[in-house]
Amino acid sequence: MKVQVWRSGGLLGRRVEWAVVVDEQPDPDQWYLLISEIPWNEHPTENTMPDRYTYEIHCEPHEAVIPEQQLVGPWRELVDRVREADASPRRPQPESPPGPECDAEASPATETERGPDTVHGTEKQRSPDELDGER
């Protein structure tokens, strides 16, 4: 049996996941006892507050979403045990928006395309001596 806990929200809105395979724990009987004591059908109603965490708890076939301020009793004990047992919580990487399309008109020109008198896309100022040499 696998128990997963996701915490989301807070000031940054980051999502963190902890997971434990109960049968791989040193005390699986204690885990099963705790899981059986949880009132899965009577979990607190979701009433989130701004900038507070929300916990999603999955333990097949059960799942619950509980606001941080209502995470008490066996719910708190289960979340704490999962967090302690999983030494490497995972933070999903945010999906980065696709980069801008690169086309010939929008891309900066190279020096050979600009010519030797252009610096960083603008005309280089030429001295009077340089101008006299062109005449």
Which residues are CB-neighbours of 101 under 8 A, at least 6 positions away?
Answer: none
Indicate the pTM of the whole model.
Answer: 0.60
Torsion from C-alpha of 13, 15, 16, 19, nearest 10 degrees: 150
Q: What is the spatial distance between Cα 16 and Cα 48, in angstroms, rounded to a whole number?
A: 17
> What's the confidence (pLDDT) of residue 75?
93
**Confidence bin at 62 (pLDDT 50/70/90):** very high
3-state class (DSSP) for residue 2: strand
Q: In 54-127, which ranges are continuous DSSP H helix?
A: 74-85, 111-114
